């Protein structure tokens, strides 16, 4: 998906708030603000939001010597959701349709996004639960998903943010309980970028107990096929079923020819318009296509 005007202002404002809270050097802060403003005003052609965020983080590295640090936020959300994982899993498993229930929670958890919302805290988990209670996966998409899982041998799960990734893990546990023949492969980011999940986070939440974990080989808050490692790219062609979580993955994968089930929250107006859904609603969308 191409870069929307909304994305430029959103990324500029959210990252500026974060950096302003942590940058003691006023001169460097002013330089950072100036360079990011210039980038957002005139980004390269055919850019999308994840590439813009990659470059904003790169500007921070140039000026401050490191990327924008979300390590505290990542630890906080991973720990908080991990502490309630088993309770949530049992709650979901006891429902009349565990798979639908797990998808509702996974979609609602996409709210945990520091690229869009800079002031999240542990109280945000209550918002996730409230959103999950209101969510309703599209019946036709859910039915198709179940049919695909019945015949599948491999499932590729493309993850997004920390905290959220524990809800993904619960969904994977539900899938494996219902479809034990399915081998799950999880794809995380190739390095630290915003609060996106990496191999370190996957190890911390013990994702490897239920899935084989690979990283994308790229430090982008999305899945930009042109820069994926050959190993990561091959996962898309070999998987029988693909799940993409979050807006960064949606914006880099949608329209690229793969058959994908997208799970996300419509946090942005242009995304809500694109899928004819209310803003802040959850979405479970299937894109029909296959590129080998």
Q: What is the pLDDT of residue 91?
A: 95
On the 0-12 / 13-18 / 19+ scale of CB atoms within 10 A, 138 is: middle
Q: Give the residue among 167, 133, 75, 165 at the shortest CA–CA distance from 282.
A: 133
Reported as a pLDDT band with limits 50, 70 and 90, residue 118 is low
Average pLDDT for the chain: 92
What digits encode the pLDDT tens for the residues 4-48? Answer: 777 777 888 888 888 888 767 889 999 999 999 999 888 888 889
Q: How confident is the model at residue 292 (pLDDT cuts 50, 70, 90)?
A: very low
Q: Can you give the pTM of this predicted structure?
A: 0.94
Closest CA to 161 of 136, 198, 131, 191: 198
- Kindly state which CATH superfamily the domain 71-287 is placed in: Uncharacterised protein PF01937, DUF89, domain 3 (3.40.50.10880)
Chain centroid to CA 199: 14
| Backbone phi and psi for residue 10, each to the nearest 5 degrees, phi listed first | -65, -50
- Find the range with the poorest average confidence among 73-77, 114-118, 224-228: 114-118
Task: Say what the pLDDT of residue 129 is.
Answer: 87
Question: By percentage, how much of the chain surpasses pLDDT 70?
Answer: 96
Q: 77 — phi, psi (to 5°)?
A: -75, -40
Q: What is the pLDDT averaged over residues 111-117?
A: 74
Token couple for 202: 């996957």
- For β-strands 212-215 and 183-188, DSSP reports them as parallel
The whole-angstrom separation of Cα 130 and Cα 282 is: 12
Phi, psi of 214, rounded to the nearest 5 degrees: -125, 160
Instruction: Using the predicted structure, report yes or no on whether residue 3 has a pLDDT greater than 80.
Output: no
Confidence (pLDDT) at 119: 65
Query: Over the stretch 26-37, which tens digit does the pLDDT of each residue have?
Result: 899 999 999 999
Say what the pLDDT of residue 11 is.
82
Domain borders along the chain are 5-64, 71-287
pLDDT tens digits, one per residue of 247-265: 999 999 999 999 999 999 9
Helix (H) or strand (E) holding 81: helix 71-82
**pLDDT the model gives residue 286:** 97
Q: Quick one: CA torsion of 272, 41, 251, 59, rounded to 10 degrees?
A: -130
Give yes or no for residue 290 having a pLDDT over 80.
Answer: no
More confident residue, 169 or 47: 169
- Answer yes or no: is pLDDT of 291 > 60: no
Burial 53-92 (b: 16+ CB within 10 A, else e): bbbbbebbeebbeebbebeebbebbbebbbeebeebbeeb
Q: What is the pLDDT of residues 70-80, one digit of tens each?
A: 999 999 999 99
Find tokens 């990324």 and name the residue: 11
For the CA atoms of 181, 285, 223, 84, what is the dihedral angle to 10 degrees? Answer: -60
The predicted structure's pLDDT at residue 22: 79
Report the alpha-carbon distance of residue 15 to residue 7 in Å, rounded.
Answer: 12
Q: Which candidate, 245, 238, 225, 44, places its Cα nearest to that of 164?
A: 245
**Residue 222: exposure state from Cβ atoms within 10 A (0-12, 13-18, ≥19):** buried
* C-alpha to C-alpha distances, 110 to 70, 265, 273, nearest whole angstrom: 17, 6, 18
């Amino acid at each position: 998906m191409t870069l929307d005007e909304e994305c430029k202002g959103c990324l500029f404002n959210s990252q500026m708030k974060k950096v302003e809270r942590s940058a003691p050097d006023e001169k460097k802060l002013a330089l950072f603000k100036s360079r990011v403003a210039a980038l957002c005003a005139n980004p390269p052609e055919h850019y999308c939001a994840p590439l813009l965020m990659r470059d904003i983080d790169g500007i921070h590295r140039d000026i401050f010597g490191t990327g924008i640090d979300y390590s505290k936020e990542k630890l906080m959300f991973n720990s908080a959701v991990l502490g309630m994982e088993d309770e949530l899993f049992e709650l979901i498993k006891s429902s009349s349709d565990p798979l639908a229930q797990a998808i509702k929670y996974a979609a609602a958890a996409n709210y945990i996004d520091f690229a869009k919302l800079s002031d999240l805290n542990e109280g945000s988990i209550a918002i996730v639960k409230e959103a999950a209670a209101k969510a309703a996966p599209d019946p036709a998409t859910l039915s198709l998903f179940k049919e695909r899982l019945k015949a599948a041998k491999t499932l590729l799960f493309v993850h997004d943010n920390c905290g959220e990734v524990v809800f993904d893990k619960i969904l994977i546990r539900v899938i494996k309980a219902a479809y034990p023949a399915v081998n799950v492969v999880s794809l995380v980011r190739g390095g630290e970028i915003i609060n996106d999940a990496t191999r370190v986070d996957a190890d911390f939440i013990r994702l490897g107990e239920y899935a084989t974990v690979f990283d994308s080989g790229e430090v982008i808050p999305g899945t930009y096929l042109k820069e994926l490692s050959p190993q990561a790219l091959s996962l898309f062609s070999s998987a029988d079923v693909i799940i993409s979580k979050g807006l960064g993955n949606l914006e880099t994968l949608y329209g690229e020819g793969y058959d994908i089930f997208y799970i996300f929250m419509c946090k942005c107006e242009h995304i809500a318009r694109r899928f004819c859904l209310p803003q802040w609603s959850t979405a479970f969308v299937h894109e029909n296509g296959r590129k080998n």
